[in-house]
Structure 1
């Protein structure tokens, strides 16, 4: 435990001393601290008695620091400077960043790989990404987030970034090592990677195959993963075919890390939206990022 409090009559005396030493004028120090000049004199005398040393020389011309006073002032000034710098840094930490909340898959396969392009254009913008397993409302801690909603969804401070399009994906390695897939029905003879999200409704293989005209009533998964990101990792590892979302798979497809074994796809009528707080006071700060996300997401 620091013994500083035992070496001072009060912590307030340090602020009084710093103001008096910096101004070399008790009257100016009093005005700065919004107290009376006698109060400044009393605090300085109390500090000198407590330390058993003179800190100021008083004469008709005003006050000057003694050698002990100069030594103390240099250290107090330096210490105050470091404390002020730290307090500014931590108190501003939430406002220096634009905080984006997104699912793990959106963050891992879209935001993080793409953001360096944005930051090259906006070097002064700092971004914090928060992953979440469910949709959350933007608030004073989260500036924007990404939701999946019906295509006609409307509310203040919401921007559509693209339709929900779902199709099979796999790694080139898996397709090379497995029997050919020439039609969507052939998928029934392959290892299909299933996922179930307890907080976000996602289309599964049975529903997707039914929509494209394949009877999958007897399809029983060997393994079900409770996170879409896990199913994507399994597909990337060459373990089978997963359902992919155009928004989160676009970079993986563009870089040929994943491929589409068939051209069939399902458009659900839903869309992805960038969502900010309806009463956000930071629109001027977040709009460059919002506009960039909207533009970049359309590069499918």
Structure 2
């Protein structure tokens, strides 16, 4: 008799959820069961297979070598089943639900989205933008693009692009800025949620940071718009300000005479295997290709 016939699907679901989340309690919440039911199902699975799948302690569970190997194949199998069900049911028409950091969406993603829609007319998209993390546990979203290092979680995280921070301003304002010291006479625009701010840029260039900043925003897209309007000099990512730089509305007056700050600004976060949307891989591949093209320019 095939061993698969002896193993109920419910046991494999409990094992996959526990292995992916790293906790019986998280797996129980996801599957709407009790932690003891998850633990009991996995114990029965271990008895059936005659192998130990988890190392248990009072505080945590960790997959054994055999458990990691089984999890990889079980997740692959669930992924194929999900894909098959999507193809033969109305689930194929469910929109791909994307959550993203607001400024990344406004400044970089939305201007390119037409290309993806033309290439994949069969994929419906639903967008939401906020600084909160997307919720995958309740199956609210399929993918999240977050600003900054993501918090620890059982989900996959993928760094997107190395971004470059440099002072940006309108061409008219740039005429009075030829040395970094000239910034002391300018209105400096600061984005309060940015990982690296003016203080760090001045220190990186061996300059004393000013104590006063003329304008402060909580979104990069507003800070960039203010700089375009000539209201001051903004320290911003050239990736986010790509359109404004390409059109000449913003320039980099000190790019050849000062140090830029390089950092990974955005990450892609998504569930490992379970509940994946059929179009997730297509969107991921397209997004990474577009980011690669942007950095080659």
Could you tell me which residue of structure 2 aligns to residue 222 of structure 1? 214
> CA 1:107–1:185 in structure 2 vs 1: closer, same or farther (change >3 Å)?
same
Instruction: Name 1:145's counterpart in structure 2.
Output: 144
Q: What is the aligned residue count? A: 202
State the distance in 1 between where 2:180 and 2:136 align. 40
State the SS of the aligned residue for 2:243: helix
C-alpha distance after superposition, 1:46-81 (max 9, x if no partner): xxxxxxxxxxxxxxxxxxxxxxxxxxxxxxxxxxxx
8 A contact 1:168–1:260 mirrored in 2? yes
Separation in structure 1 between the aligned mates of residue 149 and residue 156 of structure 2, nearest angstrom: 16
Match of 2:197 in 1: 204
The alpha-carbon deviation at position 252 of structure 1 amounts to 2.5
CA separation of 1:128/1:257 partners in 2, compared to 1, >3 Å: closer, same or farther? farther
8 A contact 1:160–1:294 mirrored in 2: no
Match among 246, 252, 256 for residue 260 of structure 1? 252
Q: Distance in 2 between matches of 1:278 and 1:249?
A: 32
Whether contact under 8 Å (1:109, 1:252) holds in the other structure is no
Matched, 1:184 2:180: yes
Aligned partner of 1:169 in structure 2 is 168
Cα drift, residue 103 of structure 1: 2.0
Cα shift readout 1:218-255 (whole Å, capped 9, x = no counterpart): 43113322333321221122211111113312232223
**Secondary structure of the structure 1 residue equivalent to 2:110:** helix
Gaps of at least 5 residues in structure 1 are 1-91
CA contact (8 A) 1:107 1:129 kept: no
Q: CA deviation at 1:280?
A: 4.1
2:58 counterpart residue number: none
Please report the RMSD computed on the Cα atoms of aligned residues, expressed in angstroms. Answer: 2.9
Query: 1:137–1:277: 8 Å Cα contact kept in structure 2?
Result: no
Other-structure match for 1:275: 269
**CA contact under 8 A between 1:138 and 1:275: conserved in structure 2?**
no
Give me the whole-angstrom Cα distance separating, in 1, the residues matched to 2:140 and 2:93: 9
* CA distance in structure 1 between the partners assigned to 2:134 and 2:241 by the alignment: 23
Task: Using structure 1 for the length normalisation, give the TM-score.
Answer: 0.59
Distance 1:189 1:147, change over 3 A: same
Q: 1:245 to 1:291 in 2, by over 3 A?
A: same
- Which digits, 9 at most, give the CA deviation of each residue in 1:128-187, with x for residues without a partner? 221102333445111111124459x99753333211321111222433xxx521122222
Residues 126-137 of structure 1 correspond to what in structure 2 (within 5 A)? 126-137=124-135
Using a 3 Å threshold, how does the CA distance of structure 1 residues 94 and 101 change in structure 2: closer, same or farther? farther
Residue 137 to residue 211, structure 1, CA distance change in 2 (3 Å) = farther
Q: 1:114 to 1:278 in 2, by over 3 A?
A: same
Distance 2:265 2:101 in 1: 15
Task: Extract unaligned runs of 5+ from structure 2.
Answer: 1-89
Q: Is the 8 A contact 2:204 2:259 kept in 1?
A: no
Q: 1:113 aligns with which of 111, 114, 118?
A: 111
Separation in 1, partners of 2:240, 2:97: 19
